[in-house]
Amino acid sequence: MPSQFEAKRIRILRQLELPTKEYSDLSPKGSIDEGIRDLIEEINRCDELVTTSSCAGRISVFLEGKKKDISGIETLDGKDAPLAGPGGKGGGAWLFISHSPVAIPKNISDSNFLSTFDLEFPSKVDDPDHEKGRRYIHIKFEAMILHVLTASLEGAQRTLSAALSAGFRESGAVGLSSSGQAEVNPMVAVRSAGLAFDSIIGYQNEEGLNVSMVDERHLRMLMGIANERFRINTERIERFRSALLSQFKPPQTNVTKFLPLKPIKAGYEDPEARRQRKKMEGISRQEAMRIEKASTNYPKESDSNLSREINGIFD
C-alpha cells in the first residue's frame, strides 16, 4: 500500500496530466502559468516532492470589494450579502492580470493603459480626499509563490534551504509535527514579499465608473517597475530551480508515467549510465594491462596456462 504522501502525489500528478482543456484549478487564471510549467514538471519528477499550487508571479489591477459596516453585513436588493473586510479583499473584481511582463509602447501616444485597465480619466477635478466605504483600485506586482508538499522533514529542510538561498526570503514550512500520525509531510511555501508593490491608482465612484487618479504617463512608469521586478523574479526562480534539483536524485519509481516527459536530445547519455560505462572501461583496461604484462614475463611453455587464465576472465 502506498504511503499517505505517495497517494497524494499520484493523485496530483494524474490531475496535472489532464489535457489543458480539461484541467482547471482555483486560481483566477484556472491553469498553470507557462512561465513556471517547466519548473513544476522538474520538481514533480523528484520522488520526495510534489507541487500543490503555484503562481509564476503577476501584474494585476484589482478593484476592492464593498466594505463591511459595523455589523459586517449590508443589505443589497433586499438580500443580505457578505462584503469585503479591511483592505477591500473579498467580493472585489480583477480588472487586469498578466503572468508575464507587459509590453510598453515606445511612444506615449501609442500607450493606452487607461483603457486596458477599464479606467476613466476624469473630465473635472474630483475630490481626492478619502471617503469612508470608497472602493479603491490597486495596481500590484507579486513574485512567484509555490507550495511544495514534501515526504519528510529532511526533504522540507532541503527545499526551504534552496528557497532562502535563491532570494525567496519569506519562505516557510508548516505541518512539521505529526499530530498523532506516524507520517510527517511538511508543506513548504516558497515566496518573497520583497519584490512586491501595491499602488492605488483609482477608485469607483457613486455611478459605478472606475475613475483614474493618475495619468497615462504614471501608469507607464508603474508598468516599467513591474516589468523590472519580473526580470528579478525570473532570475530568482532559476536560482531556486538549480539549488533545489541539485539536492534531489532523479525519480526511481514508476510514478513518472504520470508526468509529460520531454524528448531526449540525440547523443544524450544518462549520468548514471555514463558512470557505469566509464567504470567498466577502466576495469577492462586494467585487465588488459595485467594480461599483457603476464604474457611478457611468462615463458613460452606457459602460454597454454595463460590462455586458460584469459578465457577464465572474459568467459
User: 60-64, 145-149, 259-263, 283-287: lowest mean pLDDT where?
Assistant: 259-263
Q: Are 47 and 6 in contact (CB under 8 A)?
A: no
Q: Are 260 and 41 in contact (CB under 8 A)?
A: yes
CA–CA distance, 212 with 138 (Å, rounded to integer): 10
CA–CA distance, 215 with 209 (Å, rounded to integer): 16
7 pLDDT more than 50: yes
Helices and strands in the chain, H and E counts: 7, 11
User: 45-59, 125-139, 192-206, 252-266: lowest mean pLDDT where?
Assistant: 252-266
Backbone angles phi, psi at 119, to 5 degrees: -110, 145
209 pLDDT more than 80: yes
Q: Which amino acid, one-letter code, is at 143?
A: A
User: 197-206, 216-225, 251-260: lowest mean pLDDT where?
Assistant: 251-260
User: 48-57, 86-95, 221-230, 262-271: lowest mean pLDDT where?
Assistant: 262-271
Question: Residues 211-239: what's their mean pLDDT?
Answer: 96
Residues present in the chain in total: 315
CA–CA distance, 229 with 57 (Å, rounded to integer): 10
User: 68-77, 105-114, 130-139, 167-176: lowest mean pLDDT where?
Assistant: 68-77
Domains in the chain (CATH in brackets) are: 4-60+90-258 (3.30.1960.10), 271-314 (no CATH)
Residue 91 region by backbone torsions, left for phi larger than 0, else alpha for psi between -120 and 50, else beta: left
pLDDT at 170: 94
CA–CA distance, 27 with 51 (Å, rounded to integer): 14
The pTM for the full model equals 0.68
Residue 116 binned pLDDT confidence (cut-offs 50, 70, 90): very high
Q: Are 141 and 196 in contact (CB under 8 A)?
A: yes
Q: What is the mean pLDDT of the chain?
A: 78
User: 25-34, 70-79, 132-141: lowest mean pLDDT where?
Assistant: 70-79
* Cα four-point dihedral sign 189, 89, 95, 197: negative
Residue percentage of the chain with pLDDT more than 70: 63
Angle at 166 between CA 164 and CA 167, to 5 degrees: 70
CA–CA distance, 140 with 229 (Å, rounded to integer): 11
pLDDT at 161: 95
